[in-house]
Chain A
Amino acid sequence: MIRSSTALGIGSVFGAGLAAGGMTDPRIVLGFLDVTGAWDPRLLLVMSGALLVSALGFRLTRRRGHSFLGGQLQLPTLHQLDPRLIGGAALFGVGWGVAGYCPGPGLAALAINPLEALLFVPAMLAGSWLAKRLAPG
């Protein structure tokens, strides 16, 4: 119960930040990716702000062994670059450029722009499921 409440609060800070930064509006995101058009710098500012705080946070907490709720601090352990990583990221970028949504804003669109989310979100989940079935890691 505690775990879910803190997660709900933390998620809502993240979601409010996304919306404040304009990231829940795919027109603003596509404007950022449109470097030869009317470029919109907001994604760069959102990313910079987020990186500033999280880089500091990860640095300050790296010697902690446990989270406040008791579990171990879990970070990805892979360091090797491989074709799966780069190919996957490349496909993701194409999809991002087509629709203007990455996963967070896509989910937020369920509440903000449900007409679009009802197409995008099921397709995203299907894509993830298919990739897992067809190319298990």
Chain B
Amino acid sequence: MNVGLQALAVALGGGLAIGTAVVLLFVVHGRVFGVSGLANGILDGLSARRRDDLDWRVATLIGLVLGALVWTLVIQGSPAPRSGFPGWALVVGGLLVGAGTRLGSGCTSGHGVCGVARLSPRSIAATATFMATGIITVYLLRHALAVLP
């Protein structure tokens, strides 16, 4: 590990900001801030032609993208993004993330932050599970098989 103290402090600050957004979405909108749930809500709403919750869901995700973009461009001064990562891994990873979060009803935000914060047994179990399979996967792909950087 060679991450500077300042980067660690900023990471903690980033977490505090994420927590603040989670609380605000709950207090102001009454909803859990789960990104996969928001995306699936949009996907399902569009395919069923239901428009009732489309507006705030789309706005939340647009805000997420804009907030990340502004921080990266303005505060960090646009560091070089990852390049040369194999396309097949992005496609396979995307398929598994999409299917897994649909079946498991949540991702890092909905289960990992909102659910664990509420001490939901389902979310604690889900978070322990995806952390474990994530760690095993990186070990296998990066070290045992050495097929990915």
Contacts and interface: CB of A to CB of B under 8 A. Distances in A.
B104 A92 contact: yes
A108 B102 contact: no
Contact of B93 (A12, A40, A98): A98
B45 interface: no
Given A19-B67, A57-B27, 9 more contacts: A7-B63, A34-B142, A38-B2, A40-B1, A76-B115, A78-B122, A85-B122, A103-B36, A119-B87
A4 B59 contact: yes
Q: Is the interface of B mostly helix, strand, loop or mixed?
A: helix
Contacts of A86: 104, 125-126, 129
B11 A128 contact: no
Given A26-B82, A57-B22, A69-B28, A76 B122 contact: yes
Contacts of B113: 47, 50-51, 54
Interface of B: 1-3, 7-8, 10-33, 35-36, 39-40, 43-44, 55-72, 75-76, 79, 81-83, 85, 87, 89-105, 107-109, 111-118, 120-122, 125-127, 129-139, 141-143, 148
A107 B65 contact: yes
A35 B99 CA distance: 25
A54 B114 contact: yes
22 contacts: A6-B24, A6-B56, A7-B29, A11-B60, A12-B66, A15-B63, A16-B68, A17-B18, A20-B13, A35-B135, A49-B15, A50-B113, A69-B29, A71-B29, A76-B115, A76-B122, A78-B105, A84-B104, A86-B129, A97-B93, A97-B133, A113-B82
Contact of B90 (A7, A50, A85, A99): A99
Interface of A: 3-27, 30, 33-43, 45-58, 61, 64, 66-69, 71-76, 78-81, 84-113, 115-116, 119-132, 135, 137
B118 A93 contact: no
Nearest to A11: B63
Contact of A33 (B57, B89, B120, B137): B137
Contact of A49 (B1, B3, B14, B103): B14
Contacts of A8: 59-60, 62-63, 66
A18 B64 contact: yes
B12 to A, nearest CB: 5
Contact of B100 (A47, A56, A78, A95): A95
Contacts of B131: 33, 93
Contacts of B27: 57, 61, 64, 67-68
Given A10-B60, A16-B68, A131 B99 contact: yes
A72 B30 contact: yes
